[in-house]
Amino acid sequence: MRKLIIVSFLVLLISVVLYPDSIDLSINDAVERGIEKSKELKISKKETMVSRNEYKTERADMFPEISISSTYLKTDQKEEYSLEIPDLNKKIIISPKMDSRIKNTLEFKQPLFAGFGLYNKTKLYSEKSNIKQSKYREDRRNLIFEINWLYWNIIKLNNMHRVLEKNKKQIDEHLKNAKNYYKQGMATKVDILTVQEKISEIDLIIIENENKTEKLKMKLKNILDISTDRKIILTSKIEKIDNMNYEKDECIEKALNNREIIKQVKINTEIQSLKNKIAKSGLSPKLSLIGKYHYDKPNNSIQPLENEYKESWEIGFSLSMDIFKGGERFYEIAKTNLEEEKSEIFLENLKDNIKSQVINAYLDYNKYVQKIEVIDKKLSGAEENYRISKNMYNEGLIKSSDFLKTETSLMKAEMEKLNALVDLRISELNLKKAMGVL
């Protein structure tokens, strides 16, 4: 019994150490864990590896092909067939006596020329592999942005919760004072009900805020592969953000140079060009060097036949060319020409869309920079107004409803400041994402 208790205690201790109820996460911890644990990113990584192996498979067609085969055939009993020449007193065996055939062949084939079709096909698969690698980098950046967006929005909601709780405590104190003033005849029942109504409004906002927070946390846990039962504690704080010293044109230039989607479309344009070249190579003759080594019993290459193992070999060239296939090649060339032109138009349209994305992100970022400067002044004024109003209310110089408005104004100003800091951080990340430098 004692041993069982000790073992149970050790198991519990290990589980607490290895799987604590809560986990502290800085933004850097969250990003690193997300990159390591994300299933979608793992799938994207596997796709790059598959694509790379497809390229290697196609590249193998450019190398010599060497094969070996061996065949054993049991046949019906064949008697010897021969001719006798009386004058020479000699017998010529045309077909020896045998009941089986054995063929052993070593074959060699090396493509020499196919209108550069093999070269272009190999290059095509290399470009496809480059697209998959680019998509992996894009998926990685999107994941980093999503983790940041979730993390800072949870911080934003947590900050709002603290402000709401702080404001609720202030209004609870206000309610006590209102009840005391009511007993003294300095306040009315309406003043008390107004304060109680405000407390109820804050409680409803807190409930809604907590619901939003839990939903975002669930999504973040899913990305980070954290059990839904575990509590996550976000430890990073919004600090003063240094303004990005980028001009609008500089942001657009960086986006056009760094965005993975542009690189992918450029590669796709090159792929369409390679498909066109491959289609044209179908009109060219195909030349290969071939060679065979035989070790057969009997060997048909050696006459007269003998029911013995004999060696023989042959080497030469193979030439083939399609003469007519119903115009298939010409239609294919026309198709690839159109696909290439379409890809070029798509690229120009994509560049225009990305320019718009960058400009919108740039304007949003600058809006929040300016907004914070205004909110700082607003918060300073709200704090001073609250201080003065509180003193006046305590001295009975203003109504309860007027002081309540002052408290509400201060709460809104504090929440606006916290929200604006998070919005500025997210707008900065969004601008970096649009520029392709996240």
Q: How many residues does the chain have?
A: 438
Q: Rounded distance, CA 235 to CA 22, Å?
A: 12
Tell me which H or E stretch contains 292.
strand 286-296
DSSP assignments along 109-124, one per residue: EEEEESTTHHHHHHHH
With a CB cutoff of 8 Å and minimum separation 6, the contacts of 212 are 157
CA distances from 43 to 37, 139, 145, 225, 433 (A): 11, 10, 18, 15, 22
Architecture of domain 20-63+114-285+324-435: Up-down Bundle (1.20)
Q: Is the pTM of this model over 0.85?
A: no
Spell out, as residue ranges, where the chain has pLDDT lower than 70: 1-20, 80-83, 86-89, 91, 239-244, 400-401
C-alpha–C-alpha distance, residues 353 and 339, integer Å: 21
Q: What is the pLDDT of residues 58-99, one digit of tens each?
A: 888 888 899 999 999 888 777 766 667 766 667 677 777 777
Under 8 Å between Cβ of 301 and 104: no
Domain ranges of the chain: 20-63+114-285+324-435, 66-113+288-320
pLDDT at 400: 66
Phi, psi of 104 (to 5 degrees): -125, 120
pLDDT of residue 277: 86
The pLDDT of residue 248: 86
Helices (H), 295-399: 328-394
Q: Pull the structure tokens for residue 332.
A: 């294919």
- Kindly report, residue by residue over 127-162, the tens digit of the pLDDT: 999 999 999 999 999 999 999 999 999 988 888 888
- Report the DSSP pairing between strands 22-25 and 231-234: parallel
